[in-house]
Amino acid sequence: MRKNSTKLIILAVIALICMLLFAFYNIQGGFSYAFPKRLERLFAMVITGTAIAYATVAFQTVTRNRLLTPSVMGIDSMYEIVQTIIYFALGSSSIFVVSRYLNFGVSIIAMVLFALILYRFLFRADKHPIFLLLLAGMIIGTLLGSLVTFMQVIIDPVEYESLQARLFASFMNVKTELLFISAGIVALAFLYGTRILHKLDVMSLGRDNAINLGISYDKMVLRILILSSVLIAVSTALVGPITFLGLIVSNLAYQYFATYKHSVLIIGASLISIIALVGGQFLVLHVFNLTTTISVIINFIGGLYFIYLLLKESRKAG
Amino acid sequence: MIEIKGLSKSFGKKTVVEDVTLKIQAKAITSFIGPNGAGKSTLLSMVSRLLDADTGEVLLDQSDVKKMKSDAFAKRVAILKQANHLNIRLTVRELVSFGRYPYSKGRLNKEDQKFVDQALEYMNLTDMQDKFLDELSGGQKQRAFISMVIAQDTDYILLDEPLNNLDMKHSVQIMKILRKLVDELGKTVVIVLHDINFASVYSDRIVALKDGRLVKDGPTHEIINSDALREVYDMHIPVQVQDGCRICVYFNSHN
Ligand SMILES: Nc1ncnc2c1ncn2[C@@H]1O[C@H](COP(=O)(O)OP(=O)(O)OP(=O)(O)O)[C@@H](O)[C@H]1O
Ligand SMILES: [Mg+2]
């Protein structure tokens, strides 16, 4: 068996190759125009990839499950909801739409608040079986989704068009003006996030052992849930929802590295995440010559993988 | 010294620990005994901050444990729960190394390694230190967890039924090690035991709980007699003296 450090190096090399290919392969239409555009996209993918990887692994450690992720529980759809409500209630000329930063701030705060309320309600007793949580999360997600559809139906058609443009964020359509503020928030989050990696290791022993070893457990759980919600919220606001990416990369990392060490798991998951996004987008654009974005494909594969994990888990339980 | 003052805890309408006040003598082994559901584990959980009390307080050398810093507390008091289940896959040595976390914060130095080696040695686990926990028998796993708590090197060691799953030889071995930790290193051990004879032979003091209340608290010889034990267990427990030890022979008792 390879050592984990070797595995990390292999992944890092693959990720680098993907990034180089994406940046330089077959540039058309003038280097000085296309190259900065590609770099922007690349930058967005690296930010979101690592943010989602960290958020998912940390979330799964503190909730002690490997099936649920913040996205699966519906934080992503909260973004749509916030935007729709703003358009619905205030219209496209309101300051909350016009000012990108204000919009960004409001969306993130709303997503984090929603996440915390959801967790408070769902994880309070810490006793609910995982399928119940999953079901509850999905029902809430669906409910909110229907609400959004309803509002979108009765909204003014012109407004709707502009809302659609807003909601349809993707890697090919990165909101450049939000790139740097997102990077800033993610960097701040990681500044804290990397300092608590060893606490995450201890917390994976469960509440009682973690408290015994001197972790302020409940406080840390809250902080980590906030941290992971912020990361997911930022990445959703930047490039739109990639619901199943976190689930795929975290579980691949658990399997590939077979360790409890979060330093390894999180770096590994981030690299896998970058490979999936950048490599995937490269294949989509240059090999399959499709115009679709990688998010769609990841969600498709991720959905299948999710079902596979569910079945595996239920077989284990039954 | 640990002082428990008027501690109570209810789950819903059910009061499981009711107004318990007692002092745990330092540098001694105190055994908690009592029937199933008496509240022993709940009491221990409150002392070790795993569970918040409804009323009352726990003082560690005169200061309220709830006000102590988590990492400072972890260097003074260690607890091993009755049931331990891990979601992650660890080797024995990795688990025991976690016991050093309050000191090392994840980066073990030479001294930490020494404590880990010693704790493994104590529990006879040196040979299997690189095995994964899920490859071990129930008793071996239990010893690995005890080993982690010993590596934590705290003044106070709280153990909830640590003899679970252990054969006679290892039970005796562990009780002797606990004795040694108390007599030679000046540790304070609180241990929940169902095997009353281990309590009788190895502990300095015994605390008996029943229906959430403290019913007995005294030196071992005052508790290990038929009258006191009847109060605790509602059954007749004859006591015989064997090689200077008081042994309870309750196996075919008729109330
Ligand atoms: N989390 C909980 N929720 C509800 N009731 C609980 C909870 N924990 C314990 N109890 C109840 O409290 C009572 C005392 O439980 P506790 O575990 O303290 O008993 P114990 O003396 O350790 O018993 P045993 O010898 O079987 O380990 C029991 O009746 C139990 O059902
Ligand atoms: Mg118990």
> For A195-211, how does the pLDDT look when each residue is reduced to its tens digit (9 = 90+)?
999 999 999 998 899 99
Does residue A31 lie in a domain region? no
Does residue A23 lie in a domain region? no
Position A123 scores a pLDDT of: 65
> For A222-243, how does the pLDDT look when each residue is reduced to its tens digit (9 = 90+)?
899 889 989 998 998 888 888 7
pLDDT level of residue B32 (50, 70, 90 thresholds):
very high
Ligand 1 neighbour B212 (Cβ under 6 A): no
pLDDT for residue A124 is more than 80:
no
Answer yes or no: do B98 and A208 touch at CB < 8 A: no
Ligand 1 neighbour B50 (Cβ under 6 A): no
pLDDT for residue B8 is more than 90:
yes
Compute the distance between CA of residue B158 and CA of residue A265 in angstroms, rounded to an integer. 33
pLDDT for residue A182 is more than 60:
yes
Ligand 1 neighbour B41 (Cβ under 6 A): yes
Position A65 scores a pLDDT of: 82
Share of chain B above pLDDT 70, in %: 100
Position A178 scores a pLDDT of: 86
- Transcribe chain A into DSSP letters: ---HHHHHHHHHHHHHHHHHHHHHTT--S-HHHHHHHHHHHHHHHHHHHHHHHHHHHHHHHHHT-SS--TTTTTHHHHHHHHHHHHHHHH-TTSHHHH-HHHHHHHHHHHHHHHHHHHHHHHHSSS-S-HHHHHHHHHHHHHHHHHHHHHHHHHS-HHHHHHHHHHH--BTTB--HHHHHHHHHHHHHHHHHHHHTHHHHHHHTT-HHHHHHTT--HHHHHHHHHHHHHHHHHHHHHHH---TTHHHHHHHHHHHHH----HHHHHHHHHHHHHIIIIIHHHIIIIIS---S-HHHHHHHHHHHHHHHHHHHHHHHH-
Residues B57 and B99 in one domain: no
Does residue B141 lie in a domain region? yes
pLDDT level of residue B100 (50, 70, 90 thresholds):
very high
**How far does residue B211's CA lie from ligand 1's centre (Å)?**
10
> For A20-58, how does the pLDDT look when each residue is reduced to its tens digit (9 = 90+)?
998 888 877 777 778 888 888 899 999 999 999 999 999
Atom index in ligand 1 nearest the CA of residue B35 equals: 25
Does residue A25 lie in a domain region? no
Residues B48 and B99 in one domain: no
> For A140-150, how does the pLDDT look when each residue is reduced to its tens digit (9 = 90+)?
778 877 888 88
Higher local confidence (pLDDT), A71 or B225: B225
Mutate to test the interface with A, among B66, B94, B98, B160 (most CBs of A within 10 A): B98
Domain carrying residue A203: 39-311
Does residue A32 lie in a domain region? no
Residues B167 and B250 in one domain: yes
- pLDDT, averaged across chain B: 92
pLDDT level of residue B250 (50, 70, 90 thresholds):
confident
Find out whether A55 and A119 touch, Cβ atoms under 8 Å: no
Position A318 scores a pLDDT of: 55
Position A130 scores a pLDDT of: 61
Please give the tally of structural domains in chain A.
1
Distance from the A216 Cα atom to the nearest Cα atom in chain B, whole angstroms: 6
Residues B102 and B167 in one domain: no
Residues B165 and B240 in one domain: yes
Position B255 scores a pLDDT of: 64
Does residue A185 lie in a domain region? yes
pLDDT level of residue B252 (50, 70, 90 thresholds):
confident
Residues B65 and B166 in one domain: yes
| Residue in chain A lying closest to B99 (CA) | A213
pLDDT level of residue B47 (50, 70, 90 thresholds):
very high
Atom index in ligand 1 nearest the CA of residue B212 equals: 14
Q: Average pLDDT, stretch A279-287?
A: 86
Residues B239 and B189 in one domain: yes
pLDDT for residue B34 is more than 90:
yes
Taking contacts as CB-CB distances below 8 angstroms, the residues of chain A near B108 are: none
pLDDT for residue A1 is more than 60:
no
Higher local confidence (pLDDT), B54 or A68: B54
Domain carrying residue B33: 1-76+155-173+184-254
pLDDT level of residue A116 (50, 70, 90 thresholds):
confident
A45-54, A255-264, A282-291, B105-114, range with the lowest pLDDT: A282-291
Answer yes or no: do B99 and A260 touch at CB < 8 A: no
Residues B149 and B161 in one domain: no
Q: Which residue has its alpha carbon closest to ligand 1 atom 22?
A: B41
Write the residue in B70, B80, B87 that is nearest to A214 by C-beta. B70
**How far does residue B160's CA lie from ligand 1's centre (Å)?**
12
Residues B165 and B250 in one domain: yes
Write the residue in A64, A198, A212 that is nearest to B48 by C-beta. A212
Find out whether A54 and A231 touch, Cβ atoms under 8 Å: yes
Higher local confidence (pLDDT), A133 or B196: B196
Please give the tally of structural domains in chain B.
2
Position A129 scores a pLDDT of: 63
Dig out the tokens for B140 from the structure. Answer: 């071996």
Write the residue in B78, B86, B107 that is nearest to A205 by C-beta. B86
Question: Would you call A69 exposed, middle or buried from its count of C-beta atoms within 10 A (0-12, 13-18, 19+)?
Answer: buried
Answer yes or no: do A205 and B88 touch at CB < 8 A: yes
pLDDT level of residue B127 (50, 70, 90 thresholds):
very high
Higher local confidence (pLDDT), A64 or A127: A64
Position A127 scores a pLDDT of: 58
CATH for B228: 3.40.50.300
pLDDT level of residue A272 (50, 70, 90 thresholds):
very high
Position B80 scores a pLDDT of: 93
Q: Average pLDDT, stretch B184-200?
A: 93
Does residue A160 lie in a domain region? yes
> For A241-266, how does the pLDDT look when each residue is reduced to its tens digit (9 = 90+)?
887 899 999 999 999 998 999 999 99
Does residue B14 lie in a domain region? yes
Distance from the A104 Cα atom to the nearest Cα atom in chain B, whole angstroms: 37
Ligand 1 neighbour B20 (Cβ under 6 A): no
pLDDT level of residue A131 (50, 70, 90 thresholds):
low
Helix (H) or strand (E) holding B94, with range, is: helix B92-98
Higher local confidence (pLDDT), A284 or B47: B47
Q: Average pLDDT, stretch B33-58?
A: 93
Ligand 1 neighbour B39 (Cβ under 6 A): yes
Does residue B178 lie in a domain region? no
Taking contacts as CB-CB distances below 8 angstroms, the residues of chain B near A207 are: 50
CATH for A130: 1.10.3470.10
Q: What is the ipTM of this complex?
A: 0.91
Instruction: Write the secondary structure of B76-91 as one string of H (helix), E (strand) and C (coil).
Output: CEEEECCCCCCCCCCE
Position A313 scores a pLDDT of: 75
Compute the distance between CA of residue B187 and CA of residue B175 in angstroms, rounded to an integer. 14
pLDDT for residue A81 is more than 90:
no
Share of chain B above pLDDT 90, in %: 69
Position A47 scores a pLDDT of: 93
Residues B62 and B168 in one domain: yes
